[in-house]
Structure 1
Amino acid sequence: MSITITSTVIDISPAIRERIESRFEKLSRRQVDLITPHVIINKEGLKYQVEATAGVRHDTLFAKAEDDNLYAAIKDLGQKLERQLNRYADKPLAQRAHAGQPVASGEVDDGVDLDEEEEYRAE
């Protein structure tokens, strides 16, 4: 997987690149193809801001993390992306689980009160 990493503040060292790539390798375990992942590293005051976007089929994942330590920010970013990817990957399963459920007769509310229906028939 080719990850684009950009930063105007620091030089991207091999250790930083390796840390980011290892976080994205964890994401690839979900069997969802990530399309053109892009990571941007900025520094605002004393804090590092790390943003990432990655395309998935019919959607885009975006996460932003901020910390004093760059490696901690990368870890938080990876965790946020992982939660989004889990939600994205499990969404079809959740929809299929509720699609085949029969509705109990007592749960249907068609807006008609039975007493009103009997009065109408009596007239």
Structure 2
Amino acid sequence: MNINITNRNDKVSPAVREKIEAWLEESQKRYNVITSAQVTIEKNNGKEEVVEATIHATGKDLFAKASDENLYAALDALSHKIDKQLAKIRDIQTNKKGTSKPLPAAEESVGDELEEMED
């Protein structure tokens, strides 16, 4: 996975870089669809931290933006937004429309017993 982190006003501190990389690695382990990520940090009006992320996942490009006075709070909000989008992509890929849902094990065994009785 290719991760690019930029700060428009200053250098990215090692602690912030580690937090972003840890979050993306954890998301990659959980969803296994991330191919690359671009995270941009910017300070707005001298007070508010704005964090934007563009995530390239298999078949989709995700974008989220979060802002807060505290950079770490903005990063947490951003990670929550991206993780929700990744979960939705995973659900769509695993539950395609038109496929039959698997029967629970109890219903399958009852159906097998009925077929045996009929024979």
- Same structural fold, with TM-score higher than 0.5 when normalized by the shorter chain: yes
**Aligned match of 2:13:** 13
**Aligned match of 1:41:** 41
Alignment of 1:33-112 (within 5 A): 33-45=33-45, 46-96=47-97, 98-100=98-100
8 Å CA contact 1:30, 1:86 repeated in 2: no
Q: TM-score, normalised by structure 1?
A: 0.74
- In 2, the alpha carbon distance for the partners of 1:67 and 1:15 equals 18
Q: CA RMSD in A?
A: 1.6
8 Å CA contact 2:31, 2:87 repeated in 1: no
Structure 2 residue runs of 5 or longer lacking an equivalent are 102-119
Summarize deviations over 1:63-86 as a string: whole Å, max 9, x none.
111000001111111111100000
**Length, aligned pairs only:** 100
Identity of aligned residues (%): 36
Structure 1 segments, 4+ long, off by >6 Å, are none
Q: TM-score, normalised by structure 2?
A: 0.76
Letter of the 2:100 counterpart = G
Summarize deviations over 1:40-72 as a string: whole Å, max 9, x none.
001112110000011111110111110000011
**Aligned match of 2:104:** none
Structure showing greater Rg:
1
- In 2, the alpha carbon distance for the partners of 1:10 and 1:32 equals 32
